Structure 1
Amino acid sequence: MSHWLGRTLLLSLLFLVGCGFHLRGGSELSPLLNQTYLQGVAPYSQLGIGLKRRLEAHGITVTSVPEEATALLSITYNQLQRQVLSVESTGKVQEYALKYVLQFQVINSKGEVLLPSQRLELMRQYLFDQSSVISAGEQEKLLRETLQNDMVQQILWRLEALPPPHVDES
């Protein structure tokens, strides 16, 4: 039985390789971003720290001097808000939603738009337990951190879509 299982696995693997399937490797960001300045985000905020770390992990230098930058990642809107989703018959809140909206664009050192304005929205819902306000507060704090980490990932996915620099063939 294990002999047939081994052959089946080997045959499946050969089919996958034959059709061009491969595991997704690390993604690369455009060389246009080699020296990036972050505008509109506090450098020591969770979003600022997360963006800096993730960009540096991709080999991008995040500069604190705009004049040194080859690209400017500009956060033009950054809002994290809590909304009431449902209430009990007594008027007490039962459920909240955290909504995170961020808008950004990328321009080069000449002021040319590399990535037009992108609007990103993320939302998470959570139940509010009146009997345990402290744990509900911790839950909200954890969700805020998760949303900000997810937003950093969303921004990086958009940056991965940047085309490589245009090369003149003169």
Structure 2
Amino acid sequence: MSWLHQRWAYWLISLLFLALAGCGFHLQTGASIPPSLQGMRVSGIGPSGGALAQVVHRELQKNGNIASSNGPLLLIDNAYVSQRIISISPSSGAALEFLDTLHAQFYVINQQKKVLLPAQSLLVENSFSYNSGNPLATNEQQIRVERLLMDQGARQILRRVLNSPAVRQPRD
């Protein structure tokens, strides 16, 4: 490979990294879990609590957390998804667009049931459009929207828990 080709490849790769950094892409570091939360377990209650807890648990594992029976407990309480029609066809009266909302509360306690992070509310919303020409696609859309809600909810919970000053401060 000639010097010119090497230089061209270097600039192309540099530009790619710059573009990825600008769009919010980050490599996983696994170093974001504070010592006070190492070994954190996750439990969910409510119609969608189990599914949301599983997604949060998976994200914690990706960051190097190994759940421990004596670790702190992240409780996701009263988790459910609601759906509301936000757009109706004037000609047919059929629903055209829906708004799905994930509701939950979460808090963190230690093994002695001492609150490490007080209860916080979670609200995540996503809309999707109905295609009357292909109702099966709408069922697939609904499944994708609910997965997206769970993913966004899990990321929001973890961001708020892991960045909370309450869990980052040393405990006496």
Report the equivalent of 1:6.
Answer: none
Report the equivalent of 1:20.
Answer: none
| Aligned partners of 1:41 and 1:47 also within 8 Å | no
Report the equivalent of 1:70.
Answer: 71
| Aligned partners of 2:44 and 2:53 also within 8 Å | no
2:32 maps to 1:31 = no
Structure number with bigger Rg: 1
| Aligned partners of 1:31 and 1:165 also within 8 Å | no
| Aligned partners of 1:32 and 1:108 also within 8 Å | no
Report the equivalent of 1:156.
Answer: 158
Q: Secondary structure at the match of 2:40?
A: strand
| Counterparts in 2 of 1:167 and 1:148: CA distance versus 1, 3 Å | closer
Pairwise CA distance, 1:58: 2.2
Give the TM-score of the pair, scaled to structure 1: 0.72
Pairwise CA distance, 1:59: 2.4
Distance 2:45 2:53 in 1: 6
Report the equivalent of 2:9.
Answer: none
Give the TM-score of the pair, scaled to structure 2: 0.71
| Aligned partners of 2:43 and 2:73 also within 8 Å | yes
Post-superposition CA distance 1:35-78 (Å, at most 9, x none): 22222259xx5423322221122222224xxxx22211111121
| Counterparts in 2 of 1:134 and 1:147: CA distance versus 1, 3 Å | same
Q: Number of paired residues? A: 142
Distance 1:25 1:51 in 2: 15
Letter in 1 for 2:168: P
The partner residue of 1:57 within 48, 62, 68 is 62
Unaligned segments of structure 2, at least 5 residues = 1-25
| Counterparts in 2 of 1:51 and 1:30: CA distance versus 1, 3 Å | same
1:17-166 aligned at under 5 Å gives the runs 26=29, 27-41=31-45, 45-63=50-68, 68-89=69-90, 90-162=92-164, 163-164=167-168, 166=170
Unaligned segments of structure 1, at least 5 residues = 1-22
Identity of aligned residues (%): 23
| Counterparts in 2 of 1:94 and 1:164: CA distance versus 1, 3 Å | closer
Pairwise CA distance, 1:105: 0.3
Pairwise CA distance, 1:156: 1.1
